[in-house]
Chains A and B, each alone.
Chain A
């Protein structure tokens, strides 16, 4: 995997952003979500738990990606 250290900070920032989005989905009902959020529904008390899980997975993916970019140079593929 090619290392791209310049993407570490953007990946962490994106991860934090999606982490916050996940928390908003879990904490707020559909009516309390910002109107530009997918799932916003005026008058609904439903919590979009699955939307929050999706956002959390994206956040986790960003953090894992950033984590891998901080490692040393990758050796060539060899058998386990």
Chain B
């Protein structure tokens, strides 16, 4: 893989992880559109590179929400020490912790099934459209709650929704924003809940994947693309968070819904016309 290809995929990962349009779907579709099979043919490199890209987005989220991360970490351990949830920060921190659990359980039990049976281009095309429609519907509901109103029950519901994002094409940020909007959170708060939920989930997955990649043996000559991919993912991810939160002050999620319709329709059209295969098999 060249540094330029790593740069492209890093930017794609950074932008699409935080925008509600599916990062895993795009990381599969972009090489699929270009008939680019290097990652598919080099599984060891693919896994290492995937860890690097996710580490980049994790850096972006932690950097942007550094004050919230510190505040909620302190609040969480303070609540555990007191054995009681007394403040807003403690409640939000515990809600994020609760919301992380469903994805860890289902991801842990179902990772084999997900890798073997999900993520085919035709599935991604359909999911882009279906979950885009769901986001569009939820975004029409009233905005009545700030992020400070997040309860443990909200955390559990949004966390359960996050499980659906284990299937490529759903979009982790998309489905958690959809669930948050359905629960009545305003657009800005829905995005913040989504991004804060990303941090523990992606941190855990990245640490595990990094350990496994190192344990299995790193492929040779990967330093260049890995560094470029990580930096590109981190920078584009940071910009995506900042841009989205600014956009939501004046706009709805409609542009992303329309993009999802367009991208899903293009994928299905390419498959229907035989230009690209519906599966990787």
Assembled-state Cα–Cα distance A77/B92 (Å): 11
**A70-B83, A79-B88 are contacts. A50–B101 as well, Cβ < 8 Å?**
no
Contact of B108 with A by CB under 8 A: yes
CB distance from A63 to the nearest CB of B (A): 11
- Number of A-B contacts defined by CB within 8 Å: 69
Assembled-state Cα–Cα distance A58/B212 (Å): 22
Assembled-state Cα–Cα distance A62/B264 (Å): 41
Chain B residues with CB below 8 A from A70, complex form:
83
Q: Are B108 and A51 in contact (CB under 8 A)?
A: yes
Chain B residues with CB below 8 A from A74, complex form:
84-86
Chain A residues with CB below 8 A from B101, complex form:
57-58, 61
Contact with A along B205-217 (1 / 0, CB 8 A): 0001000100000
- Size of the chain B interface, CB-CB below 8 angstroms: 27
Chain B residues with CB below 8 A from A73, complex form:
84
Q: Give B98's nearest chain A residue, CB to CB.
A: A61
Q: Are B108 and A64 in contact (CB under 8 A)?
A: no
Assembled-state Cα–Cα distance A38/B84 (Å): 35
A residues adjacent to B (C-beta < 8 A):
1, 38-39, 49-55, 57-58, 61, 64, 67-68, 70-75, 77-80
Can you name 17 A-B residue pairings with CB atoms under 8 Å? A1-B152, A38-B109, A39-B112, A54-B108, A58-B101, A67-B80, A68-B80, A68-B83, A68-B84, A72-B83, A75-B86, A77-B86, A77-B87, A77-B88, A78-B87, A79-B88, A80-B87
Known contacts A55-B108, A68-B80, A77-B88; 19 further A-B pairs (Cβ under 8 A): A1-B85, A39-B112, A49-B208, A50-B107, A50-B109, A50-B111, A50-B208, A51-B108, A53-B108, A57-B101, A57-B104, A67-B83, A68-B79, A70-B83, A72-B84, A78-B86, A79-B88, A80-B71, A80-B89
